[in-house]
Amino acid sequence: MKMADDKRKRDSRDRNRVSVEEDYEVRYLSGSPGITAQQVRDLVEQHGNDAETLEREAKN
């Protein structure tokens, strides 16, 4: 069973990661470089969930 993210608890542990299970994270990344949510999921599958890597790859 997966525990839900508690949005009240803020720290930097996963700030540099993108979770494809969180729609708002996918929307954010897909909106900035103009790619689709499915393309974001494909990028995560290919390159992992490091936000900096995904942003760089999305721009390419």
Token representation of residue 54: 């995904």
Query: Which phi and psi angles does 16 have, rounded to 5°?
Result: -95, 15
Q: Where are the domains of the chain?
A: 23-59
Residue spans of the chain under pLDDT 50? 1-3
pLDDT of residue 18: 82
Give the pLDDT of residue 1: 44
Share of the chain above pLDDT 90, in %: 17
Phi-psi domain of 2 (left: phi exceeds 0; alpha: psi -120 through 50; beta: other): beta
Count the neighbouring beta carbons within 10 Å of the beta carbon of residue 48.
Answer: 11
